[in-house]
Amino acid sequence: MSKFKGLNDDCRLEYFTELAEHKTRVHYLKSENIFKQGAFAPYVIYVVKGLIKVYLQTGFDKQINISISKPGDFLAFSSIFGEPVHTYSTQALTDAEICMIEKESLKQILLDNPEYALKLTSKNYSNEKHLLEIIKNVSYKQMRGKLASALLYLSNDDFQKFDIFQLLTRQDLADFASISAESAIKFLKEFEKERMLKLTGKAIEIIDAVKLENISKKG
């Protein structure tokens, strides 16, 4: 008999009956920290509801925002492979619900269900590509290119249904682009003058994604 009830493209954990006794659901309010970089990592985290900001602490008061995790995503997945501490920090961008999963239990499910493991590998490959893009942004791109890349990432359909830009401060946006908040504000105004986007308070509406993509590619 199959070890799971079903499997869809989101790899949702509720299909795995074996995890019922090995996971705990926890609710977080908007802006609450979920875990901190360098802290002990006893569980794998699965996002059930809400959006979660993933970031690296690069100094006492500096950080680089790496990504936003959405329902269906895993966090602290490297703990399955023996990583004892969290390598990044996370914070709830909205009210959120997560599952804390015993890592050995999830590891056994992956060993028993190669199809599911392959789907997770595919998701992690996409995450790896995004991390490589971040490295390229920081290392090679000019500030306009960095901001354009961040705007394109944040404006994808998965995040827009949450009205993502209303959830982010200009400092948050700057931290996604690895530039200062002052520079982010300056270039946002330039992009608006060039009719690539429209600013209304915190809201950002992308008008010409092609132009933004060209700026992102040219760096």
Task: Return residue ranges of the chain for CATH 2.60.120.10.
Answer: 13-125
- Tell me the whole-structure pTM to 2 decimals: 0.84
Choose which CATH entry (3.90.700.10, 2.40.30.20, 3.90.1170.50, 2.60.120.10) describes domain 13-125. 2.60.120.10
Q: Is the pLDDT of residue 137 over 90?
A: no
- Residue 7 CA to residue 15 CA, distance in Å, equals 7
Q: Where is pLDDT greater, at 191 or 157?
A: 191
Q: Which fold has domain 141-218?
A: Arc Repressor Mutant, subunit A (1.10.10)
For 73, the enclosing helix (H) or strand (E) is none
Q: Where does the pLDDT of residue 124 fall: very low under 50, low under 70, confident under 90, or very high at 90 and above?
A: low
Task: Return residue ranges of the chain for CATH 1.10.10.10.
Answer: 141-218
pLDDT, position 16? 55
How confident is the model over 116-121, as a mean pLDDT?
77
> pLDDT digits over 85-111, tens only?
998 999 999 999 998 988 888 888 888
Q: Where does the pLDDT of residue 17 fall: very low under 50, low under 70, confident under 90, or very high at 90 and above?
A: low
Average pLDDT, rounded, for the chain = 85
Q: Is the pLDDT of residue 6 over 50?
A: no
What does the DSSP assignment read for 95-118?
A: SEEEEEEEHHHHHHHHHH-HHHHH
